Structure 1
Amino acid sequence: MALFVWDCFFCLLPSLLFFLLCLGLRWPRASCWTRQTIRAARPRFICKPTALAKYLHRHCDSLARPRLAAWPRGDPHLQTLSSLLCGEVRDTIQFTRDNLLLRDGGIVAVDWAVGTGQGEAAGRKRWEGRKEHQTGGKALGCFTSTPPVLLLIPQHWGGMTPHLKALCHQAIRQGFYVVVFHPRGTAGCPLTTARLTEFGDPADLEQVVAYVHSRHPSSSLVAVSEGSGSGILLSYLGECGSSTYLTAAAAISPVLLGQLWFEKAMPHIYHWGVLFHRKLQLRRYASSFREVLDVDQVLSSPSLRDFEESLFCSSAQSQRRTSRPYSLQGLEPSAAWALGERAYPAKDWDSYWERNEPLRDADEVAVPVLCICSRDDPLLPPASALPIPLFQSNPYFLLVLTDKGGHCGFTLEGQEETEGGSTENEEVEEGSWSHMAVLEYFRVVADFLKGEERDGGSWGGPLGEYSQAGQRNRTSNSNTAAPRRRRPTMMRRPRPQAPEQSSVDEEEGNFTWKRSYTR
């Protein structure tokens, strides 16, 4: 009898503990203590202590005080699945599509958001109200009298997630022009060449940026990547350097180390979902690839790494796939020249990442890049694998690391509590903190660059400490320059040893924020 009682007790113990926990959270004092504990967990702002970093720390309130949702809404898996699969956007966003013909004959899709009705009109009015009418038509920061253009880059596997749609909606409401870049063969984009975009191949994005700039030459251009879409964005920023048309960039839950991400053991449900989606894309164009690819072998890949290696590396293919250039597989010689080294399949897995690792040219980046990461991200390697020395030594890279947020989640609390413990009458709009943070970051950077232009009077000149290693000059136009061979190292210039942790409160370095325009 006693044994039966103890068995019942241990069976009911988890439910009893859960009930007591819920009861404690409903107790006002315990609930207040819980909120204070959550608020005390401030995100880490890891960066080189430059003037821009200190300006962001003082003026970008969203980065310093995120109101992230508590459990259960703050559960990393719940946030991740909600952002990727089942999120909700209040207004229906309408898009108009441009199919852009590339140099090698391929096509990518460029979707322009044409508004959400009243939300867009209100955003335009707010934008007009924030203009600073000055000589030359300059507006807020480095933004011109026309609204800025926000270029969005989806996940590597393509498509519009609820997370990206919500960012579109928020940006439109704040007065941005919004455009979405879809790589080859994704989101219904027609595939005209037997070639898909490699993980870190920025050639297509480079042409898209030039096209968007030509459509809005008087508008400032900024870009945000979602998740694995950072592979293309970071590669583009490194290859183009100071010749880019972008003023600033941000990456939400970025894949900073591509090879590690493909080799890391992802939770099975996410791994299966991403792999299934990639196989569906290839199966749609299977007949077009059979002459140059063993499609059945690729479709039988058991993992993301095997799929990527079989698709792009000649060493993983059967004898049917040769190392001939794509120009001999249906492309014109001029198109193969435009592809450069990517006209040939990568020799093996390591050589594939020599030319596609997102941070291979990190020391060439010439615009500020904000990376927002979470420690509980279930799709990315652990936070201990982040390249912290890069953010501590490179003034163009800034990292905000939170304790929770999931993958592209960062769900906000529904209400804001005052210091006295009472709740405000007006409910704060629910959404994603990362959306609010990156949009405010762009505006604060614009203000800072405007002040630098006003104080310095010129954008030219040496790049501070980088002048010791040589300026980053690109004398040839990015649309006509021949592709150059990449070295396998991620950061080529030697870096001084940095302390274990860096923040904007540390001693200011010698870096002076100057941007070099060479085009």
Structure 2
Amino acid sequence: MLWGIVAGVFLLIFLCLGRRLLCSKIKSGTVFSTGKHGNTKEEEDEEDDDFGLLQYSEKVQGGSPLICKSSALATYLLDTCPAFSETTGSGWSQIIWAHLHTILNLFFPVETEIEIARDHLQLLDQGIVSLDWVVGPHPPSKSRRATNIFPSPPILLIIPNSFGRITRNVQQLCSLAMEQGYYPVIFNRRGHNRCPLTTLKLQEFGDPSDLQAAISYIRFRHPSSKIFAVSESSGSGLLLSYMGEWGSSTYVTGAVCISPIFRCQEWFESRMLWFYRWTILLYQKFCHSRYATVLGDIIYTERLFHSSSLWEFEELLFCHTKRKAVSWQSYWERNEPLRDVDEVAVPVLCICSKDDPIRGNVDSTLPLELFKTNPYLFLWLTKHGGHCGFISQDSTIWSHRATLQFFKSVTEFFRMEERRLSGPRRSSVLLYRQRRGTLQKRERAYSSINIFNWQRSYTR
């Protein structure tokens, strides 16, 4: 009954959004006439301009552009990732359905929920984060495909959005990863997703210290497995912060950000569509209400739960507290995800769509210059897909296929480079391999002393 009411409300809102978008198209005088290549007039104009990226990106025939600096790795990715050649649909229906893609993957449940085994990891300040190891449902033996390029099952670390919700998008990625031989694990921040809040400290938006402790713990438990990381939506801010701050010292082999938010301070200050704004805000209030009493010692909870914007909520949570007061600007100086992006030293793929209704306008929200100059950053920019949607015609998520293909191609490329290069000579794309001796020393140090405390529980 409850889900029927929720679905009805979503359908009503979607119809209203569709009507508004249609009216705006008609009023602007746009005519959807088919051009000589089967594209609409609007698409031909878009291809002529294409945001001035043609000189910096390699176009995939019939597919989406991979925007990056020219390199051997970029060429190899285009040759070995079939998902980069898939078309993303076109027409006015795709523009309207971007909202449906977003609503379906962020708010609707999956048909079969994943089964997890949870590790509670106690940190140095006695705070707790949790790691949810996905243990089921097990895929059929015929559908499970072993990855021959990995000597042991690789770890797929998934970072959900910064609000802690485990979405349909995340659960479907876990299921697909298990089918392809990965061992998925979901990172939960302090107080998120029923993770206990044991200290009067919440994790700031771009503070990677807790994530680093979790990755070190994963490496400690699985020293022979490669670690890949995937982040969703605003959770990409934490992953990008970690990749920049730790640079070549990270244990992560490759990373993918699905519908990331890059300029986060501007995103908090902007006014997105009211439906998404209030949905995210109400969900945050609901989650934090569980700790209202204890948080009242450090936060003005009455003002927090009466806030009317994401900006105000974040500011009251971390800036205007009872213990200290810091300016909004200084808060983002230490939490902006791109503050150390020049230090990223492993391949990172960002999957974005031009019609993302949550991120905002492409010109003001995508730092295209970074992808033109940094050989480790790749942007797959599609015309359609919404926010964390990317639903193909066969109802599968093609961003998930692209993610796993990217990890496989990156691993194969570095393996070929290692075989090609001999002696002390090393290619610039193998910088992160030079730290192997250092990492092995760290692993031996970790094995000699128990620096982690954890407790496992099984749940759905």
Same fold (TM over 0.5): yes
Superposed counterparts of 1:7-86, under 5 Å:
33=38, 42-68=63-89, 72=93, 75-86=97-108
Structure 2 residue aligned with 1:367: 346
Deviation per CA, 1:433-464, whole angstroms, max 9, x where unpaired?
10111111111111101111111136985747
Inter-partner Cα distance in structure 1 for 2:100 and 2:420:
47
Inter-partner Cα distance in structure 1 for 2:73 and 2:276:
37
Q: CA deviation at 1:172?
A: 0.8
Structure 1 residue aligned with 2:7: none
Q: Contact 1:242–1:367 at 8 Å: present in 2 too? A: yes
Q: CA deviation at 1:123?
A: 5.1
Q: Contact 2:105–2:169 at 8 Å: present in 1 too? A: yes
Structure 1 residue aligned with 2:318: 312
Structure 2 residue aligned with 1:102: 123
| TM superposition score normalised by structure 2 | 0.78
Which of 284, 300, 310 is residue 306 of structure 2 equivalent to? 300
Which of 364, 387, 394 is residue 374 of structure 2 equivalent to? 394
Is structure 2 residue 166 aligned with structure 1 residue 160?
yes
Q: Contact 1:44–1:402 at 8 Å: present in 2 too? A: yes
Which of 384, 394, 412 is residue 392 of structure 2 equivalent to? 412
Inter-partner Cα distance in structure 2 for 1:382 and 1:189:
35
Inter-partner Cα distance in structure 1 for 2:205 and 2:437:
24
Superposed counterparts of 1:151-230, under 5 Å:
151-230=157-236
Deviation per CA, 1:69-118, whole angstroms, max 9, x where unpaired?
876477111000001011534x4421111111111111111100102234
Inter-partner Cα distance in structure 2 for 1:458 and 1:65:
40
Inter-partner Cα distance in structure 1 for 2:178 and 2:424:
30
Unaligned stretches of 5+ in structure 2?
Answer: 1-21, 27-31, 45-59, 446-460
Q: Contact 1:68–1:410 at 8 Å: present in 2 too? A: no
The one-letter amino acid paired with 2:271 is A
Distance 1:295 1:267, change over 3 A: same
Q: Contact 2:258–2:350 at 8 Å: present in 1 too? A: yes
Is structure 2 residue 245 aligned with structure 1 residue 239?
yes
Please, what is the CA RMSD of the aligned residues?
3.2
Structure 2 residue aligned with 1:115: 136
Is structure 2 residue 248 aligned with structure 1 residue 263?
no
Q: How many residues align?
A: 394
Inter-partner Cα distance in structure 2 for 1:196 and 1:441:
33
Q: CA deviation at 1:165?
A: 0.7
Deviation per CA, 1:34-91, whole angstroms, max 9, x where unpaired?
79x89987322110001101110111121132455876477111000001011534x4
Q: Contact 1:123–1:175 at 8 Å: present in 2 too? A: no
Structure 1 residue aligned with 2:333: 354
The one-letter amino acid paired with 1:353 is W
The one-letter amino acid paired with 1:189 is C
Structure 2 residue matching 1:356: 3-state secondary structure: coil
Q: Contact 2:63–2:88 at 8 Å: present in 1 too? A: no
Distance 1:214 1:284, change over 3 A: same
Deviation per CA, 1:129-161, whole angstroms, max 9, x where unpaired?
x52xxxxxxxx1xx3x11111010000000210
Greater CA drift, 275-284 or 366-375: 275-284
Superposed counterparts of 1:474-489, under 5 Å:
none
Structure 1 residue aligned with 2:456: none
Distance 1:115 1:462, change over 3 A: same
Is structure 2 residue 410 aligned with structure 1 residue 431?
no
Q: CA deviation at 1:266?
A: 0.7
Structure 1 residue matching 2:378: 3-state secondary structure: strand
Structure 2 residue aligned with 1:277: 283
Structure 2 residue matching 1:248: 3-state secondary structure: strand
The one-letter amino acid paired with 2:155 is V
Inter-partner Cα distance in structure 1 for 2:101 and 2:427:
44
Inter-partner Cα distance in structure 2 for 1:265 and 1:181:
29
Inter-partner Cα distance in structure 2 for 1:350 and 1:202:
19
Deviation per CA, 1:216-238, whole angstroms, max 9, x where unpaired?
11111100000000011000001
The one-letter amino acid paired with 2:381 is L
Structure 1 residue matching 2:116: 3-state secondary structure: strand
Structure 2 residue aligned with 1:322: 323
Could you list the runs of 4 or more consecutive aligned residues of structure 1 that deviate by over 3 angstroms after TM superposition? Answer: 32-35, 37-42, 66-74, 121-124, 457-466, 471-480
Inter-partner Cα distance in structure 2 for 1:54 and 1:459:
25
Deviation per CA, 1:458-480, whole angstroms, max 9, x where unpaired?
698574799xxxx9999899999
Inter-partner Cα distance in structure 2 for 1:351 and 1:183:
22
Inter-partner Cα distance in structure 1 for 2:65 and 2:292:
46
Structure 2 residue aligned with 1:4: none
Which of 410, 414, 432 is residue 449 of structure 1 equivalent to? 414
Q: Contact 1:370–1:399 at 8 Å: present in 2 too? A: yes
Structure 1 residue aligned with 2:55: none
Q: Contact 2:118–2:132 at 8 Å: present in 1 too? A: yes
| TM superposition score normalised by structure 1 | 0.70
Inter-partner Cα distance in structure 1 for 2:176 and 2:72:
28
Is structure 2 residue 358 aligned with structure 1 residue 379?
yes
Distance 1:458 1:448, change over 3 A: farther
Which is higher, the Rg of structure 1 or of structure 2? Answer: 1
The one-letter amino acid paired with 1:403 is K
Inter-partner Cα distance in structure 1 for 2:327 and 2:409:
43
Distance 1:154 1:162, change over 3 A: same
Unaligned stretches of 5+ in structure 1?
Answer: 1-13, 19-23, 132-139, 324-344, 415-429, 481-519
